[in-house]
Amino acid sequence: MNYQLQLRTPDSHGNLVFNTIIFDSFKVNIVERYYGLVPKSCDVLFKVRTLDDRLIKRKDGHVKIRIKDDDYNTYKALLKILGSYEYKNKLISRNDAQQDFVHFILRMVIINYDLT
């Protein structure tokens, strides 16, 4: 499946960071909220939309997912790799790092959404 990863989209500012993963038939919008003078992550939410920006409901009828507990720690670790010195200077495989992040989000989408 083809995808396009957009980290820190232009809408991002101070306390809100927007990341997007665009697939062939849908996209995932990820919102990170931060608080405090020294930004500390508060929570991470994501929603799944069609390419024409219509929200797709989860299996239980709700729209968004809050990433928490072990998944939150995994998310932060994967995001840290995408912002690392090694990633930016191509000392590690960028493709592998991006795929790990996308596969993690895709796993959560498959568990929580019915994409038929």
| Residue-range domain boundaries for the chain | 3-112
pTM value is 0.89
Residue, of 64 and 10, whose pLDDT is higher: 64
pLDDT digits (tens, 9 = 90+) for 65-90: 999 999 999 999 999 999 999 999 99
Q: Is the pLDDT of residue 112 over 80?
A: yes
> How is the chain split among helix, strand and coil, in percent rounded to 5?
30, 35, 35
Taking CA atoms, 87 is separated from 28, 64, 79, 83, 93, in Å, by 22, 29, 11, 7, 7
